[in-house]
Structure 1
Amino acid sequence: MEILASAPGKTILFGEHAVVYGEPAIAGAVNKRATIKLREAPRDISIFKSDDLGFEAELDTVAKRYTLKKGKPGIIKYILEILSKFHDHSPIEIDLSLNIPIGSGLGSSAAVTVSTLAALHKYHGKKFDRIFIAKKAHEIENTVQRMASPLDTRVSTFGGLIYLSRKKKITKFNTNFKSSFVIGYTSKRGNTGRMVKSVKSLKNRNPTIIEPILKTIGKITDDAKLAITNKQEYRLGELMNVNQGLLDSLGVNTNELSRMVYLARKSGASGSKITGAGGGGSIIACCPKNQDKVFKALTYYDNAIKVNFSNEGVFVKEIKEGLNDNFEDWWKYIN
């Protein structure tokens, strides 16, 4: 039996850092995905490999150890954690395809975790339950990272654009928001834990200044919710620009991120800002028009990908004999 499962990456539109202090946030699934193929291993050892990432490893799922055959370990620790909790330790082969750039702030680890969990549950004949998958995927991420947001795994599981309220209630936007975006990212990865601690320290030293900034970011997020609901793309871009100024005041910007933010605007984006914790990582640019121009400008110095929001969350299927292994063919098959 061979199982295929796929889950989308994500991006945060609004609410970075403020969400830590009870303010709302908006995040969405993007049309870049992690795809897992899972089958019984041809020999008596479990294998995890990825041509896209250039690695292969033999796995000891009982001891949670691996022997690296090529490449860098990276995402392997998530797979070992999943297998130790949800697999019977019989030899399996896991093949990962990934078109989400690692370290770009697009939730690659969440997408891999969600898709692997979905594939493993199907492989063992268990009921496909998205609520369970989202919960357990967050637990895996939290174990590996020591501090993980449930937003990443929730969005990767269910897809779409979501709003996280001040009461921590997650609601999915009903509107089909079709604006195009460009994600720009540098080779320098951000460290979420370090940046959260940095903002907390700044807030503790300057509470009367920083607390109103965080509350204002929350108000911007509420306004952005209305802009998305009413499909006001240029209003959304304007709010992104204002939000970026406040993130800059929190000290989470870098020269590289700032360069991309302003280059995106100069190239025709209606708005641009850091996405994620900052200190490295990525920016997001809203491009109702000029997506190609913004993409070309950002790739001159750094890296970029074109993205759109996707309503498609995780899916899982048993591979039918005779169907092409090409992912695009599979996407047509399941839809």
Structure 2
Amino acid sequence: MKAIASAPAKMILFGEHSVVYGEPAIAGAVNKRAYVEIKKSYNDKSILKSYDLNFEVELDTRNKSYILKKGKPGIIRYILEAFYRVHDHSPIVMTLSSEIPIGSGLGSSAAVTVATLAALYRYHNIRFNKKSLAHDAHMVEQAVQGVASPLDTLVSTYGGLVYLSRNKTFEPFRVNFNAPFVVGYTNKHGNTGKMVKDVRSLKNRNSKVINPVITAMGNLTNYAKQAILKQDYSKIGELMNINHGFLDVLGVNTVELSRMVYAARECGAIGSKITGAGGGGSIIALCPGKSKEVARGIAKEDNVLQVNFTKRGVSSRVRM
């Protein structure tokens, strides 16, 4: 018997970092996914391997530790935390594959966490629904990162384009938002946990300056919600550019991210900004009629990924 699950990556349009402090955010699932397969191991060892990510480890799920056999498993802490919370510590083999660049700011950890938990629940015949899965995945991310927003795991679980309000209500957009986005990402990976902690430290040291910025980011997200409902791409792009400035104030910008943001704008993007935690990772560019030009401009020095929003969230099943 095999338990199989997959979950999508996400793209944050508005609300990075401010969402951690109770402000609203807007994000959407995109058509790049993480895939997990879990089956019984016929020796006394639990193995986690990924052919496309090129690593293999021997797991100690009881003690949340591992022995590296090959490669560098940058996402393993989330997997170990998920196993620690759900698994009975019997020997298993887990295979992970991912279309999501690790550390790119596209929610690779959330997608892997959601897919891993869904596969574990199927493997152990544990009843679950999307609400409980999103909650449990958020608890895993919070345990690993120290501070985490529920946004990434909500999007990876439910799919679609969503608005997360100040009171944490989850509101899907009913409009068909097919805006043309190009994602640029660097080889310098971001570390979400570190960036969240760095912003908190900056906020604590300069609360009278940073608190109004975070509130303004929340207000901007609400303006963006209305612009999306009206399909007002010009306003969305303008607000993206302002949002990027706020993220720069929070200290999460880098030379590489700035290079991609301004390359995108010079090539015709009407809006471009960091997506995700920053410190490395990705930018997104809104470029109606200019997708090819923007992609070529970014690709001169960095990597490009073209994505579409998807309504498909987590998927799981058992195969005999």
Partner of 1:287: 287
Residue of structure 1 in register with 2:307 after alignment: 307
Q: CA deviation at 1:113?
A: 0.8
> Secondary structure at the residue paired with 2:307?
strand
Is the 2:269–2:290 Cα contact (8 Å) retained in structure 1? Answer: yes
Q: Which residue of 2 aligns with 1:193?
A: 196
SS of the aligned residue for 2:68 comes to strand
CA offset digits 1:90-112 (Å, max 9, x no partner): 22111111010011011111111
Equivalent position of 1:90 in the other structure: 90
Q: Unaligned stretches of 5+ in structure 2?
A: none
Alpha-carbon distance in 2 for matches of 1:23, 1:135 = 19
Alignment partner of 1:262 is 2:265: no
Distance 1:165 1:115 in 2: 25
Q: What does 1:121-200 correspond to in 2, within 5 Å?
A: 121-190=121-190, 191-200=194-203
Q: Equivalent residues in 2 for 1:41-120 (5 A)?
A: 41-120=41-120
Q: Give the secondary-structure state (helix, strand or coil) at the position aligned to 1:106.
A: coil
Pair 1:2–1:299, CA change in 2 (3 A) = same
Q: Distance in 1 between matches of 2:240 and 2:318?
A: 42
- C-alpha distance in structure 2 between counterparts of 1:223 and 1:25, whole Å: 11
Please, which moves more after superposition, 26-35 or 276-285?
276-285
User: For residues 76 and 279 of structure 1, do their structure 2 counterparts lie closer, same or farther at Cα, with a shift above 3 Å needed?
Assistant: closer
Give the counterpart letter for 1:26 in structure 2: I
**One-letter code aligned to 1:171:** E
1:219 Cα offset (Å): 2.3
Cα separation, 2, equivalents of 1:248 and 1:79 = 31
Report the identity percentage: 57
Structural mapping, 1:234-253, within 5 Å: 234-253=234-253
Q: For 1:63 and 1:22, how far apart are their aligned partners in 2?
A: 33
| 8 A Cα contact 1:269 1:289, kept in partner | no
Distance 1:244 1:78 in 2: 28
The aligned amino acid for 1:269 is: A
Query: How far did 1:193 drift?
Result: 2.6
Say how many residue pairs are matched: 317
- Name which of structure 1's ranges 191-200 and 283-292 shifts more when overlaid on structure 2: 191-200
Tell me how far 1:57 sits from its aligned partner: 1.2
Change in Cα spacing, 1:303 to 1:198, as seen in structure 2 (3 Å) is farther
Contact 2:199 2:251 in 1 (8 A): no
Distance of 2:257 and 2:225 partners within structure 1: 25
Q: Would you identify which runs of 4 or more consecutive aligned residues in structure 1 move more than 6 Å?
A: none
Name which of structure 1's ranges 37-46 and 218-227 shifts more when overlaid on structure 2. Answer: 37-46
Q: Which amino acid aligns with 1:53?
A: L
Q: What whole-Å deviation, never above 9, does each CA across 1:301-322 have from its counterpart, x for those lacking one?
A: 11221112111110102236xx
